[in-house]
Amino acid sequence: MIKIDDYRRVAPPGTVDIILRLAERVQGRRFTHVSGGRFGGGAAEMLRTIVPILADLGLDASWEITGGDPGFYSAGRALQQALEGTERVLTDEALDHYLEMNRINAKKLRLEADLVLVHDVQPASLVADRRGEGHWVWRCHFDCSRAQRRAWSFFGPVVKQYDGAVFSLPRFTHRIGVPLYIIHPSIDPLSDKNRDLSPREIASILGPLGVPTGRPLLLQVGPLTRDRDPLGVVNAYRLVKKSHPVCLVLAGSAGDDRESLDVLNDLREAARQDPDVIVLELPPDAHLQINALQRAATIVLQKSIREGFGLGVAEALWKGKPVIAGFAGGLPQQIVYDVTGYTVHSSEGAAFRIRHLLNNPELIARMGAAGREHVRRSFLTTRHLTEYLALLIHVTR
Amino acid sequence: MTPAADPRTRVADEPFAFFGCVELRQALDRQALDERELMDRLEEVPSGSIFYHTHGYFLRHRPVGMAYGNDFARWVAVDVRDQPLAERLALVDPFEWREIEDLREELITIVHDHLSRLSTVPRVEFGEAFHFQQSHIVEVPLGATARTLAEFRAGLSAVEASAIYFHMVEARARLGRPSGDFAEWLRSSLGLGELADRISRIDTYMTSLERVRARVLSLVDEVLERP
């Protein structure tokens, strides 16, 4: 198991000592996280790192998950999508079922703690059955500033029962009437997705994927859906291809809705017409493949038109790559313009910046180094742990 | 302090204890999409928010970032793209103001004066709104202590960078210790008044925590290496 001391070689000097000192102040306190599942990316991916370390630091840390039938999960998913701004039909029956299943969950789960941090929508209504003296804080990992009105009129009274809420960015917040704390998400530098890989490991991972070497490689990682604008990336690549012998890799999983299937068909067609366009449909747990692709890339793109925090940018910066990103979600927060990469508003803008970097390779190295340092300070697990401990100290003071 | 002819070898009765700090940020329900809204919000937000966006910039500012001096100047430059106002706001040195309310007034006056010369109010077209925040500082005792100047130097060179912010900025601006903790201890516990004066005059505006640390260390070294 990874220990906090393992992070000394990657975190900024003194950070681990700060964490140890903060943990001394909250020894034995109960810090319970609650989420809708243990698997997949996002909140669960971060909790798989953070909870064991909190326990190792001497806190009584635990991670509870809600369970239920398919109707519970589909209601929670639809509610979260509506809170993210997507038009969804929310029936009274489905919402009542969501509340009822969480009433049952509340009886089963161990929820007495000094701080109960409830992640996202699926377990959120557990707060209605809170017991004891502990503090309850809702941890929202998505942008709910443009929530559908019907969804918010149901969900607003739920989150008002919390003592506070944590959002990833100020612009992701919604008026709730409780203190709103801001804590960025993080990447784990020691995980398979981000740990160092030797050139031999990279070659052995990329060989079977058919990724060519020896030429500049442009990469975008993420769902192959309209929100991430992979077709815009292909258009930018085509503009660059006129002057540079580049390859483009689009890696991620496809959506299952009709619109996403249309996008995937267009991408497959583009790849059929041009062998230098490679579309890799990867499973969600392809962490080593993503790691190797990011390390092999010359420039990483994240040309989203709609995005959450978008930690793929931090992952690429950590690997010393300049990133060209769309102006969406948390992407501008991670890009220091002209220092670690560029934010752009169009395919033409992306193509211009790609050519600019390819024609000035010394910039690629300089931005890569600056990006890694930027992430070291701001987007690693260690900073996240520091702020969670500060939150525990602050709310239980 | 224990009497000694040479202040460099004096032993303080009260040791200096190094503290770091962690900033827990809190969003306020206030934002601005144009410069008039920025001015209006500047008038109404809590003083802690003015502090966060000015003095706090020093804690968050990293060498890889672009230098604007405070969050207001950065927003006007990057998101509104109004360079003339950004230049004027960037030059506001928060460490020159004893009272946050005076600093607030200076910022409002600058924006007001700028707007009075324009026929339209510059606003965000392609950038982000300005979101007002404030922060809660959690103090962290780092365990390092010093009773002599040499121990002080050793401790200062090793502590986490937030200790520089805590003792040089937070102590002065919010904890009512106007000389800063380093200068105060060196003067009162070791009798090193001249060194204390020089440290309290270090210009912390538009620099990094590491540069301030290096400056304090070099001043301490000058005393330690004096024949």
Q: What is the block-wise mean pLDDT of chain A (397 residues), using blocks of 10 residues?
A: 93 94 96 93 92 97 96 96 93 97 96 97 97 94 95 97 97 94 97 96 94 94 93 97 97 84 92 95 93 98 95 98 96 92 96 98 96 95 97 95
Beta strand extents in B33-159 (DSSP E only): 130-146
Q: Domain range for residue B75?
A: 27-133
Give me the CATH number covering residue A168. Answer: 3.40.50.2000
Pair A239, A367 in one domain: yes
Question: Is residue A353 a part of any domain in this protein?
Answer: yes
Nearest-by-Cβ selection for B22 from A18, A336, A337: A18
Nearest to B77 by CA among B26, B17, B35: B35
Same domain, A107 and A239: no
Chain A CB contacts of B23 below 8 Å: 390
Distances (CA, A) of A227 to A218, A220, B120: 19, 13, 35
Q: Are residues A180 and A269 in the same domain?
A: no
B34 and B129 housed in the same domain = yes
Q: Provide the domain count of chain A.
A: 2
**pLDDT digit of tens for each residue in chain B (227 aa)?**
555 667 778 899 999 999 999 999 999 999 999 999 999 999 999 999 999 999 998 888 665 555 788 999 999 998 999 999 999 999 998 888 888 999 999 999 999 999 999 999 999 998 899 999 999 999 999 999 999 999 999 999 999 999 999 999 999 888 888 889 999 999 999 999 999 999 999 988 778 889 999 999 999 999 998 87
Domain of A290 in residue numbering reads as: 199-378
pLDDT per residue as tens digits for the range A40-89: 888 999 999 999 999 999 999 999 999 999 999 999 999 999 999 999 99
Task: Calculate how close chain A gets to B220, using CA atoms only, in Å.
Answer: 22
Does residue A108 sit in the same domain as residue A238? no
Give the best residue of A21, A146, A389 to mutate against chain B (max B CB count within 10 A).
A21
Tell whether B201 is covered by a domain.
Answer: yes
Select the residue of B26, B65, B78 nearest A182 (Cβ to Cβ). B26
Q: Does residue B3 form part of some domain?
A: no
Q: Which residues contact B92 (CB under 8 A, 6 or more apart)?
A: B54, B69, B70, B73, B103, B106, B107, B110
Q: In the A/B pair of chains, how many CB contacts fall below 8 A?
A: 87
ipTM over 0.95: no
Q: A20, A176, A181: best mutation site toward chain B, by most B Cβ within 10 Å?
A: A181
Q: Decide if A201 touches B, using CB distance below 8 A.
A: no
Query: Domain tally for chain B?
Result: 2
pLDDT of residue A363: 97
The minimum CA-CA distance between A214 and chain B, rounded to whole Å, is: 30
> Could you read off the pLDDT of A224-245 as tens digits, one per residue?
999 999 999 999 999 999 999 9
Q: Does B143 touch chain A (CB under 8 A)?
A: yes
Contact residues on chain A for B26, CB-CB shorter than 8 A? 179-182
Q: Both A346 and A217 in a single domain?
A: yes
Q: Is residue A340 part of a domain?
A: yes
Residues A159 and A208 in one domain: no
For chain B, say whether A333 makes contact (Cβ under 8 Å): no
Residue B211 lies in a domain: yes
Residue B125 counted as domain residue: yes
| Chain B neighbors of A21, CB-CB under 8 A | 20, 140-143
How far apart are alpha carbons B32 and A132 in whole angstroms?
40
Interface of A with B in 339-358 (CB under 8 A): 339-340, 345
Tell whether B107 and B200 lie within a shared domain: no
Examine the domain organization and report whether B95 and B108 are in the same domain.
yes
Same domain, yes or no: A130 and A270: no
Q: What pLDDT score was predicted for residue A202? A: 96
A187 touches B31 (CB < 8 A): no
**A39: three-class secondary structure by DSSP:** coil
